[in-house]
């Protein structure tokens, strides 16, 4: 029974990713046509990002392993993707539902509130707003050379992006409704077992204080097994603030691309969360496929691809050597964990850098 | 004579009267001499029981008992009773307490499992402490903590490790039936040495200077196979405080003949005596003791092999007891008509320096016998490999003594209670409990009558399993198995020798319907021997399993600095590069691109051209060569010296 539920969750996630990809593609085409860059639409590797992303998600060995292990990660991933899809489609109640459940199941999707608000306010990803302003001022001023048909085709939609408040307010109301409902159900269920306070202490408190030191593919378990007691609280704060600190700079720089922002947030939280697993990596690798058009010329892609394969193969071997055979020690396994987090760092940094370069390239084309 | 005035005669008379009065006062004090314990009714008695064991060893069981009447009658002053113990009982409101220090494992197969000595004195290795309190439930845990600290100071042991809630548990019915005021803790790894014996002996009125305790020659005691010192306190409003101290040692007598006397390869049992075992003889009792006796026990299995019936059974063709005992106390025959064990009593009162008492046995013919066993032999072991998970298995083997305990084998069932306390880092999954009888797995509801589980919580509570099972009497073996996962600890929580592993304290197997007690019809209350009284008390048969050693994975203890540095480096790389990427302005990016496009010489030619431009002047070249020469000479000069 659990198998079926997890497989269905996986499949629905893939379908939602595909639908999100289609929406993104539509928005991209519209923006590029408005900016009068039809050449880019034809010349660039015009992959159907939605199909590619859903196929990557379904065929990723990490996702398959998660399903076979009967983890609850596919359900977490489903909720996150549901949030993103619903926000792209401007469905506030559904987005609120996904957001509340994703936060309830694991704490870290709470940081997705910013991309969700931006998605609901501005709509799906688009080139920076400055380009639109530039374009509109250009078109008002001095371009008799422009085609009339393109202008007429475009004036009906894609005006200057303005932040629409109504979906966001709806979202907030629905978030409060859904969270009250979920907490009410939890309190009924836990009446004899300590109530809501016990639940928060044992779920959120456990995630934030890193109570259990079992090995996983992250770096926190060994760190907190070796750090001196005096510094434990300090380093807990350091690790969690590292996730929180990056929210604002990324949001400032990438506010015109909220879907990509959501991808970067999921990747950062998958790297720095207290108990990471391959299910989290499966999620952001699937979402990476949504931006295949923009990230086509990402640096180090060869290194990253084979790095992921190498770490996925070496990590279980080192775990076996350490725990089952006793011929290795903890450092072997921890080294693969460190390499894995380095790879994730490189992936995040390079994808952000490539996306910004893509925007600069668009700007160059528009202004030139 | 005529000159003595009446006035001068007065003081003389007064002095005479005073002298006579003081003499009369002194005599009763000397006469009593503490033989009845002085004012207040405190009593002290000491006994020693010796018993030859089937595997050529000797059991010596020292038994000391102090009793203090209720405090209302006695006040706070104690004559014989140790004040520290009385204060302990009063301060912590203890109703019952038992503390045992044990070194070695009681061999149930060879030394017996169901006679009163083994059921009461076979204790798990290390320290075991349990206490019943007369307090409301919320005050018991802090009181337990203070009690462990007080006992730790009193006995020079690290009993204070039992203070944290991860070390003790409160079983409901698996150990003793109680209403929540029982606390039980054990430290399997505690070593026992003379440092623990000395304060234990200090509590005795005569210390180890006189009486039976003077036999405690430390080298002999600590060379034994099993050594257990036990302290038991019972306190009630009506009876006052009773303190029982027992020391049980199993020794190997030194002199044994290795000559084979019969064709059946049976070796002669070693002859031993007090002077051989303890290098001393009894030269008198402790003057403060009310009674001081030595018993020599010959158990039922031994007496059954001796078929001769004589009046003085202590001297026959197999062995001779010396000296002749003062009295023989026979146990009642059991229902099968088998002969019971015998106790031979020697009073120490009659001995003194000139007439020392040396009790012993001389073997003349080899004899092989076996002790009485419990119905099932309990043992425990670990299964599985690797440091991630494993299984604990408790096995009960039948000892083929069915006819002793159960009448008709067909329709009877024997109940067994198992208590197991497991530390939190061995995370037992109680739903994986499997029971198999004679190799065939059983449905749990058929075998389990009652089960109570207190699951462990990480770093907070140990896991307690209390289970009552019902087995058919005819079964040969049964096994209970439980799976567990191994936890991971912080480097501070590992003991100094981390790679040895961690100890799981012994499990306790109790047989609720079977009592180990003997009845001595010759014994009456006026004999006033507390050891005999104990032997006759109904006490449940119980046996302790082995201590398990669980190896856990260890992190690399030499690496804290390195680990922290590596992780923080990765974090810094992430933080720095991401912020750098976000920070880049458009102009700078284009400048970078432009620079990359333009033709640039490689790094090495650039450096070389710079260097060569600097070296155009000869002065600089000479300077450089001179410095290089000096450096080379210096290097070789230093190396050669």
Interface pTM (ipTM) of the complex? 0.89
SS3 B209: coil
pTM score of the predicted model: 0.81
Q: Looking at residue B311, what is its pLDDT?
A: 56
Statement to judge: residues B544 and B402 lie in one domain: yes
A286: burial class by Cβ within 10 Å (0-12, 13-18, 19+)?
Answer: buried
In a domain, B260, yes or no: no
Contact A228 B577 (CB under 8 A): no
In a domain, B169, yes or no: yes
Helices A73-88 and A113-122 pack at an angle, to 10 degrees, of: 30
Statement to judge: residues B335 and B408 lie in one domain: no
A34 touches chain B (CB under 8 A): no
Q: Which stretch of A10-14, A94-98, B8-12, B620-624 has the lowest confidence by average pLDDT?
A: B8-12
A342 touches chain B (CB under 8 A): yes
In a structure prediction context, what are the per-residue pLDDT tens digits for chain A, which is 368 residues long? 888 999 999 999 999 999 999 999 888 888 888 877 766 666 665 778 899 999 999 999 999 999 999 989 999 999 999 999 999 999 999 999 999 999 999 999 999 999 999 999 888 888 887 777 777 776 665 444 444 444 444 444 455 577 888 989 999 999 999 999 999 999 999 988 888 888 999 999 999 998 888 899 999 999 999 989 899 999 999 999 989 999 999 999 998 899 999 999 999 999 999 999 999 999 999 999 999 888 888 889 999 999 999 999 999 999 999 999 989 889 999 999 999 999 999 999 999 999 998 888 888 887 76
In a domain, A343, yes or no: yes
Q: Looking at residue B33, what is its pLDDT?
A: 39
B260 touches chain A (CB under 8 A): no
Contact B385 A219 (CB under 8 A): no
Cβ contacts below 8 Å, chain A against chain B, sum to 104
Statement to judge: residues B399 and B304 lie in one domain: no
Domain tally for chain B? 2
In a domain, B586, yes or no: no
A212 touches chain B (CB under 8 A): yes
Statement to judge: residues B280 and B193 lie in one domain: yes
Distances, alpha carbon A208 to alpha carbons A201, A215, A238, in Å: 10, 17, 12
Question: What's the pLDDT tens digit per position in B96-109?
Answer: 999 999 999 999 98
Statement to judge: residues B406 and B514 lie in one domain: yes
Contact A345 B573 (CB under 8 A): yes
Q: How confident is the model at residue B259 (pLDDT cuts 50, 70, 90)?
A: very low
A211 touches chain B (CB under 8 A): yes
Statement to judge: residues B46 and B130 lie in one domain: yes
In a domain, B9, yes or no: no
Question: What's the pLDDT tens digit per position in B102-146?
Answer: 999 999 989 988 888 888 899 999 999 999 999 998 999 999 999
In a domain, B60, yes or no: yes
Q: What domain range includes position B535?
A: 384-521+530-550
Contact A357 B578 (CB under 8 A): no
Q: How confident is the model at residue B40 (pLDDT cuts 50, 70, 90)?
A: low
Angle at A5 between CA A4 and CA A6, to 5 degrees: 95
In a domain, B600, yes or no: no
Contact A331 B556 (CB under 8 A): yes
Contact B559 A224 (CB under 8 A): no
In a domain, A294, yes or no: yes
Statement to judge: residues B81 and B223 lie in one domain: yes
Q: What domain range includes position A183?
A: 1-130+163-367
What is the number of helices (H) and of strands (E) in chain A? 19, 0
In a domain, B336, yes or no: yes
Report the C-alpha gap between B89 and B67 in whole angstroms. 13
Q: How confident is the model at residue B390 (pLDDT cuts 50, 70, 90)?
A: very high
B13 touches chain A (CB under 8 A): no
Q: Looking at residue A326, what is its pLDDT?
A: 87
Question: What's the pLDDT tens digit per position in B562-612?
Answer: 999 999 999 999 999 999 999 887 666 667 777 776 655 677 777 877 777
**Of the residues B307, B334, B363, the one at which a domain ends:** B363
Q: How confident is the model at residue B234 (pLDDT cuts 50, 70, 90)?
A: very high
SS3 A24: helix
Residue B231: CB atoms within 10 Å:
21
Contact B574 A242 (CB under 8 A): yes
In a domain, A257, yes or no: yes
In a domain, A229, yes or no: yes
Residue to substitute from A226, A300, A330, A334, interface B, most B β-carbons within 10 A: A226
CATH classification of the domain holding B397: 2.60.40.740
Q: Looking at residue B146, what is its pLDDT?
A: 95
Q: How confident is the model at residue B628 (pLDDT cuts 50, 70, 90)?
A: very high
- Average model confidence (pLDDT) across chain B: 85
A321 touches chain B (CB under 8 A): no
Contact A349 B574 (CB under 8 A): yes
What are the b/e assignments for B522-551, b being 16+ CB within 10 Å?
Answer: ebeeeeebbbbebbeeeeebbbbbbbbebb
Domain tally for chain A? 1
In a domain, A158, yes or no: no
Statement to judge: residues B153 and B289 lie in one domain: yes
Statement to judge: residues B279 and B417 lie in one domain: no
In a domain, A144, yes or no: no
Statement to judge: residues B80 and B155 lie in one domain: yes
Taking CB atoms and an 8 Å cutoff, what residues of chain B touch A360?
586, 589
Residue B162 has what DSSP assignment?
G
Statement to judge: residues B306 and B350 lie in one domain: yes
Statement to judge: residues B468 and B355 lie in one domain: no
């Amino acid at each position: 029974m659990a198998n079926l539920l997890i497989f269905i969750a996986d499949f629905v996630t893939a379908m939602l990713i595909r639908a999100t990809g289609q929406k993104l593609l539509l928005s991209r085409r519209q923006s590029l046509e408005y900016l009068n860059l039809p050449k880019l639409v034809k010349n660039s590797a015009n992959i159907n990002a939605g199909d590619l992303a859903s196929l990557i998600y379904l065929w990723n060995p990490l996702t398959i392993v998660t399903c076979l292990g009967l983890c609850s990660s596919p359900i977490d991933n489903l909720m996150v993707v549901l949030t993103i899809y619903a926000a792209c489609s401007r469905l506030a109640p559904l987005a609120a539902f996904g957001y509340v459940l994703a936060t309830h199941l694991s704490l870290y999707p709470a940081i997705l509130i910013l991309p969700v608000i931006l998605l609901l306010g501005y709509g799906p990803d688009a080139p920076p707003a400055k380009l639109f302003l530039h374009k509109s001022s250009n078109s008002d001023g001095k371009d008799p050379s422009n085609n009339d048909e393109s202008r007429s085709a475009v004036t009906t939609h894609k005006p200057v992006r303005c932040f629409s408040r109504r979906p966001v307010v709806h979202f907030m109301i629905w978030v409060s409704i859904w969270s009250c409902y979920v907490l009410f159900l939890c309190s009924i269920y836990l009446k004899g077992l300590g109530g809501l306070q016990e639940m928060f202490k044992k779920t959120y408190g456990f995630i934030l204080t890193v109570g259990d030191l079992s090995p996983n593919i992250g770096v926190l378990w060994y760190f907190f097994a070796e750090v001196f007691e005096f510094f434990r609280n300090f380093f807990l704060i350091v690790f969690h603030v590292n996730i929180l600190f990056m929210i604002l700079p990324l949001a400032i720089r990438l506010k015109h691309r909220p879907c990509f922002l959501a991808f970067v947030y999921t990747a950062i939280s998958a790297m720095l969360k207290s108990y990471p697993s391959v299910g989290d990596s499966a999620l952001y690798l699937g979402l990476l496929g949504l931006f295949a058009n923009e990230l086509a010329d990402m640096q180090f892609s060869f290194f990253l691809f084979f790095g992921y394969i190498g770490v996925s193969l070496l990590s279980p071997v080192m775990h076996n050597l350490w725990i089952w055979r006793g011929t290795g020690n903890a450092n072997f396994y921890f080294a693969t964990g460190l390499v894995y987090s380095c790879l994730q760092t490189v992936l995040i940094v390079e994808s952000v850098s490539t996306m910004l370069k893509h925007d600069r390239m668009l700007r160059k084309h528009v202004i030139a | 004579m005529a000159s003595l005035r009446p006035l001068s005669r007065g003081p003389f008379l007064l002095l005479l009267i005073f002298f006579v009065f003081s003499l009369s006062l002194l005599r009763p004090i000397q006469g009593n001499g503490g033989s009845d314990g002085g004012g207040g009714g405190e009593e002290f008695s000491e006994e020693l029981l010796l018993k030859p064991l089937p595997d050529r060893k000797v059991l010596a069981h020292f038994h000391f008992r102090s009793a203090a009447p209720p405090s209302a009658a006695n006040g706070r002053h104690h004559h014989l009773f140790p004040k520290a113990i009385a204060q302990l009982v009063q301060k912590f409101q203890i109703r019952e307490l038992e503390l045992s220090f044990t070194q070695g494992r009681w061999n149930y197969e060879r030394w017996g499992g169901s006679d009163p000595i083994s059921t009461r004195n076979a204790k798990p290795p290390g320290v075991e402490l349990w206490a019943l309190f007369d307090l409301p439930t919320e005050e018991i845990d802090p009181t337990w903590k203070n009690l462990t600290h007080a006992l730790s100071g009193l006995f020079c042991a690290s009993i204070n490790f039992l203070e944290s809630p991860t070390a003790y548990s409160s079983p409901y019915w698996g150990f003793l039936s109680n209403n929540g005021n029982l606390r039980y803790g054990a430290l399997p790894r505690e070593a026992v040495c003379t440092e623990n014996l000395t304060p234990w002996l200090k509590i005795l009125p005569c210390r180890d200077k006189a009486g039976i305790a003077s036999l405690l020659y430390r080298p002999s005691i600590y060379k034994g196979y099993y050594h257990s010192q036990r302290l038991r306190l019972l306190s009630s409003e009506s009876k006052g405080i009773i303190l029982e101290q027992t020391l049980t040692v199993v020794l190997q007598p030194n002199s044994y003949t290795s000559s084979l006397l019969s064709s059946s390869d049976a070796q002669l049992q070693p002859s031993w005596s007090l002077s051989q075992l303890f290098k001393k003889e009894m030269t008198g009792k402790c003057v403060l003791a009310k009674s001081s006796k030595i018993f020599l026990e010959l158990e039922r299995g031994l007496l059954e092999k001796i078929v001769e019936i004589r009046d003085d059974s202590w001297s026959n063709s197999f062995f001779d007891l010396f000296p002749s005992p003062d009295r023989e106390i026979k146990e009642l025959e059991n229902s099968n008509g088998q002969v019971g064990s015998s106790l031979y009593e020697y009073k120490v009162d009659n001995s003194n320096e000139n007439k020392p008492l040396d009790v012993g046995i001389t073997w003349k013919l080899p004899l092989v016998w076996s002790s009485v066993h419990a119905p099932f032999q309990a043992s425990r072991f670990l299964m599985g490999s690797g440091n991630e998970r494993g299984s604990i298995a408790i096995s009960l083997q039948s000892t083929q003594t069915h006819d002793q305990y159960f009448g008709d084998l067909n329709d009877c069932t024997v109940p067994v209670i198992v208590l197991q306390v497991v530390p939190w880092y061995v995370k037992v999954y109680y739903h994986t409990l499997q029971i198999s009888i004679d190799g065939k797995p059983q449905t749990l509801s058929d075998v389990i009558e009652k089960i109570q589980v207190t699951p462990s919580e990480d770093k907070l509570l140990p896991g307690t399993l209390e289970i009552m099972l019902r087995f058919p009497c005819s079964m040969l073996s049964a096994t209970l198995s439980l799976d567990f996962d191994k936890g991971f600890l912080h480097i501070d929580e590992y003991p100094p020798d981390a790679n040895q592993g961690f100890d799981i304290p012994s499990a306790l197997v109790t047989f609720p319907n079977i009592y180990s007690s003997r009845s001595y019809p010759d014994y009456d209350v006026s004999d006033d021997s507390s050891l005999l009284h104990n032997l006759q008390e109904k006490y449940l048969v119980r046996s302790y399993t082995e201590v398990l050693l669980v190896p856990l994975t260890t992190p690399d203890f030499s690496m804290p600095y390195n680990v922290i540095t590596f992780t923080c480096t990765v974090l810094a790389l992430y933080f720095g590069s991401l912020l750098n990427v976000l920070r880049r302005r458009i102009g700078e990016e284009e400048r970078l691109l432009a620079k990359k496009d333009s033709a640039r010489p490689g790094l090495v030619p650039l450096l070389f051209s710079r260097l060569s431009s600097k070296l155009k002047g000869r002065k600089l070249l000479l300077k450089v060569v001179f410095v290089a020469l000096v450096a080379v000479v210096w290097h070789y000069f230093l190396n050669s010296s």
